[in-house]
Chains A and B, each alone.
Chain A
Amino acid sequence: MNVQWRQGSAVGAASLPAGVVRLSEARRGDRGVVLAVSPDAMTGADSEEREELERRLLEIGFVEGARIELLHEGFIGRDPIAVRLDDMRVALRRREAQGVIITLDGAAG
């Protein structure tokens, strides 16, 4: 059931250094810091949609340097996800979470 997004994102993940993942691949309990907000890898979106998503993610607080922790996963396909973002909590779908790249805690920095 939840294999789909793991496989789908495997290609994108390969290009990222160790300890750096897309938020869409993170699991419950993962913590880290937002490294970049760039929805370039978002599947099935045109450039206008990506540009709009970037601004929306930024406006709700997904900004480089923000502390992030994945708190909850939905019960079907672990989607959507709820994250703690600095002092607030935000829910989003894994599709949108592809636009947020995080450095996991403990990763060599």
Chain B
Amino acid sequence: MNAPVPVRDLRIALVGNPNSGKTALFNALTGGRAKVANYAGVTVERKEGFLTSPAGRRVSVLDLPGTYSLRARSPDEEVTRDVVLGKRAGERAPDLLVCVADATNLRLVLRLILELKQTGQPAVLALNMIDIAQRQGIDIDLEALSREIGMPVVTTVATRKRGIEDLLIAIDETAAVSDAQTVSGWHSPSAGEIRDSHREAERIIKIAVRPPKRPDTWTGKIDSVLLHPVSGIVILLAILFLMFQAVFSWATPIMDLIKAGFDWLAMQVTAHVPNGLIQSLIADGVISGVGSVLVFLPQIMILFFFIILLEDFGYMARAAFLMDRIMGGAGLHGRAFIPLLSSFACAIPGIMSTRVIDQKRDRLTTILVAPLMTCSARIPIYTLIISAFIPNKTLWGWVSLQGLVMLGLYVAGMVSALAVAFIFRKVFWRGASEPFIMELPAYKTPDPKNVARNVLLRAEIFLKRAGTTILSMMILIWFLSTVPFKPAGAVGPAIDYSFAGIIGHTLQPLLAPIGFNWQMAVALVPGMAAREVAVGALGTVYAIGEGQPGQLATTLAGHWSLPTALAFLAWYIFAPQCASTLGVVKRETNAWRWPIIMFVYMIALAYVAALITFQVASRF
């Protein structure tokens, strides 16, 4: 950093259609190191990265949500419009726009560029995926294109980091000549003006682009299988089934390893730290508590691996197409499929991704039912109970019974989400639903680096949560279940005399009809912080109560009846045991009304489901 040239710092923003490889270009420019936060007041993700340009400028790069028009309808598109126009509070207008285009699909982005030009912002066009365009024999006259749209044009292959230097040089040159602040002449275009800009884009394409000599036939061929009324559905179900089998079986060896590691660590502490409060805090509170949650990291990573892979391949839009009618029957938008699928990993990203649904009612319905989808925080609980109570048998030679029960729990979550959505549409709002119009992008081979980067990002978010929220909850539950101490000479386990024991015993009569004992009642209280905390809490409660660090599953199998265990599973299909989800709903809907409605309906469903399960199972 010894460049003596006094050049101004630069703020650039990436704008383009969805699926134009904008994020890949962002990663190629910034090396993938992004500062991820939210725009003030909304939960649209703000992704910013930094680089140093060849001229020595410090450049900040903003990755804006994909859009077809500056005419915004969803919060995402509003952010793009407001940032481009410099109207976003607390956000300076970018000095330069980098329009990102899929070189094989120029028509719509050219129309967007014509709109962007009205803002008067200096801009550069990055023709991304130029390798695919060349393979298809699409001939683009860069000079003519540049002349017609009035901005420099650079070709890039973001996934291979090709053309990035040229793009940076073009950015430097454009920034050097345009220092004056411009006044935007953009206004929301009428239907007539959109038609005019289409004609203009068509004219430019006629001049500068020769159509493909070898058009992509793969997308059509793959679609004729994946969108086929029969094979499409069969494949969709097979993919979901494979996902859940993988989550259950692939992760086991690594999970065993992590479990063994934490057990070893706890033993070391017990052996080397003097007996007493500190030893108990570290071994029972911190290590066994956090360990019992961290053990599920492999499953979460496998789930995200599938979701990200399918997204990058281009399958998610197809899944939305296949699911639209089913979702529509429940009053949901086909696009709700993607947020709901993300909710399998965690309701929080799921709820945050509902912003792709333009209409408020559709969006609220999706938000309200998203937590019913089986999030990964339920996996620890399901795994624990299933491994303790469901025999490890193989049916028909290849289906694991435990996996089948797991699938059943997932299906119960999905079916109830659709049913609740249907009821909400009937109770709260009726009327026309949001239009379902979406592009089906061409299939692409997923970039392994991008998939790996995103899976690691998700793992990092989970670990951060485990390191902060969950760790502090573990210490709190340890404190609650240790203090006050057992009086000298008293009989019974020490936890009976602690705060946790007092709370558990108080709640227990309420939970008796659904078969919950007081240890479970204790675990539910800290379990409000996050579902998986209940596992750690049960571990702590039983480890301290029993005075031995044995396997939690074995302990539970000895203490709970089968009806109790099944009722506990039923409870966790519905229970709103996640304070962060409620917090996100408050933030997304900007009203307390919705998280309250969510909490009440979910806890009522949980109680009724557990009650029925326990009472019915007890008869057998």
B209 to chain A, nearest CB (A): 10
Residues of B within 8 A of A84 (CB): 220
B440 touches A57 (CB 8 A): no
- A58-B198, A59-B68, A75-B233 are known contacts. Are A88 and B105 too (CB-CB below 8 A)? yes
CA distance A51 to B189 in the complex (A): 12
Q: Tell me, in angstroms, the Cα distance from A95 to B161 when the chains sit together.
A: 43
Q: How large is the interface on A (under 10, 10 to 19, 20 to 34, 35 or more residues)?
A: 35 or more
B71 near A91 with CB under 8 A, answer no
Within 8 A of A (CB), among B221-254: 223-224, 227-230, 232-233
Would A88 and B195 count as touching, CB distance under 8 A?
Answer: no
Q: How many residues of B contact A (CB 8 A)?
A: 47
Contacts of A93 in B (CB 8 A): 324, 328, 435-437
Q: Is the CB of B69 within 8 A of A59?
A: yes
Q: B321 to A90, Cβ gap below 8 A?
A: no
Contact of B437 among A57, A73, A76, A86 (CB under 8 A): A57
Q: Report Cα–Cα, A82/B107, bound state, in Å.
A: 19
Structural contact, B68 and A91, CB atoms closer than 8 A: no
> A74-B229, A88-B108, A92-B435 given as contacts; is B321 within 8 A of A59 (CB)?
no
Q: Is the CB of B435 within 8 A of A75?
A: no
Q: Check B437–A75 contact: CB distance below 8 A.
A: no
**Does B387 sit within 8 A of A, measured CB to CB?**
no
Contact of A80 among B111, B223, B233, B324 (CB under 8 A): B324
Nearest CB of chain A from residue B579's CB, rounded to whole Å = 37
Asked if residues A56 and B107 are in contact (CB atoms below 8 Å), the reply is: no
Residue-wise interface mask of A (73-109) relative to B, using a CB-CB cutoff of 8 A (1 in contact, 0 not): 1111101101010111111110110000000000000
In the complex, what residue of chain A is closest to B67 when comparing beta carbons? A59
B427 at the interface (CB under 8 A from A): no
B326 within 8 A of A: yes
Which A residues touch B232, using CB under 8 A? 75
The verdict on B65 contacting chain A, using a C-beta distance below 8 Å, is: no
Say yes or no for B179: interface residue by CB 8 A criterion: no
Interchain CB contact under 8 A, B437 and A96: yes
- Which of the listed residues A89, A93, A96 has the most CB atoms from chain B within 10 Å of its own CB? A89
Tell me which of A57, A59, A60, A89 contacts B71 (CB under 8 A): A59
Which residues in A have their C-beta under 8 angstroms from that of B440?
82, 88-91
Q: Inside 8 A of A18's CB, which chain B residues have their CB?
A: none
A76 to B219, CA, bound (A): 23
- Provide the bound-state CA to CA distance between A73 and B230, in Å: 11
Task: Determine if A13 is an interface residue (Cβ-Cβ < 8 Å).
Answer: no
Closest residue of A by beta carbon distance from B323: A74
Q: Which residues does B use to contact A, with CB under 8 Å?
A: 68-69, 71, 73, 104-105, 107-108, 111, 189-191, 194-195, 198, 202, 211-212, 215, 219-220, 223-224, 227-230, 232-233, 317, 320-322, 324-326, 328, 334, 432, 435-442
Known: A44-B432, A61-B108, A82-B321. 16 other contacts (CB 8 A): A51-B191, A53-B435, A58-B191, A58-B198, A59-B194, A60-B439, A65-B202, A71-B223, A72-B223, A72-B321, A79-B325, A80-B325, A80-B334, A82-B227, A84-B220, A89-B442
